[in-house]
Structure 1
């Protein structure tokens, strides 16, 4: 089982090595990187490449680790007992299986994505230590232990919004997805928009990297935002000449696909104003 990327996902050699190392070691792969660099999509493409089903657990600020295992619906059981429902005598009827349980009982090996783990409470990663390490957990309401029939390939993503506990990090294989260089970015664009005119792509990439390199930018545009921008450029049938920046604002055409807050838009307008001032 070797991951090398897919026809729709360009995986740099260091990323492919990290995925394969995590699979070999049977440890969770912790993937960090700025938003929009393809961390979530990586898990889907690993599943496709290895021919495995994928189970996705998207973490929110309110998500608790227990929800990944199971939830006991005591309210429904109480209601059913008041209605005289016979189901109430079997507590298993009120156990809702979480994503980890689904991955553990799957009849074949699966890819388990735990997406944006840093969104949850700081205790969230620690609460999963034993389950991810031993690949089993106990259901207190029924007294049963649920072991993993097949150890899943676990891929965990983080946007680095908060530090993760050392004990959790020790159990993971870590990889940071660096922002693609120009050559890799060209390869990514070619996957999504094959046959894009070279002159148009050269101009678009030049403006894109100039934008990212602007000092003081609050949010740098990502790979996904570049692809959105190119889609709009193609839809508008713009040429390389059309992409010249507006000298009054220094903003590129259709800049709303690249800049996502008013501070960054104002920054370029300020730079344009300063450039027009007499010296």
Structure 2
């Protein structure tokens, strides 16, 4: 599966960047979710901190953090990522944002740089099952006591599981031990679903988990188009999600995503 990923990643994700750009500006669910994630990350940032974003895509979050005053290196292996991000650097005049074409398996190619925070959004790390290989690179890239925030797709997503009642044969696809081939605009991308326990184990002993937050336990993913025609209902569900998950009533790792933050021990 990993070989297929390497072959398909660039054309697959490059082909959906424009859709993601539109959603980030117009879809209230995507806007709410990104804001939730950004606020979580900013809890662990100080002014002018340096951020390494892996799987940066078209640079939606990298631009946000750069505009907020942080120094950002955005990395991605997709060809179009560089085109989008370099264009945004130029048009927005963002001297504190850089791009480097780089796979998350080759972060050692980032030379002579240290960061306060490593960030990965929207399940980019669900494209691999070799988490230890990825995470083993983080220690050397971080300043002492630096942070890592990862947004991961877990195994348990109630909205998707409920579609079994409507005959969806893929309603429990996240439970498959060996992952699935996700169709990304007619490109098959290996996808694996990880629990918080798996992420903690893969991070090893150099880091401690300091926070885990479920995201989208009670409101639907963006591809449930019919539900998004009812904004009042979606708005209620989003605020319900924030309130209940803020109370830690629901076990961690249940939702469309979860965000987990670690701190380097030394």
TM range (shorter): 0.3 to 0.5
TM-score when scaled to structure 1?
0.32
Q: Which has the higher strand share?
A: 2
TM-score when scaled to structure 2?
0.34
State the structure with more CA Rg: 1
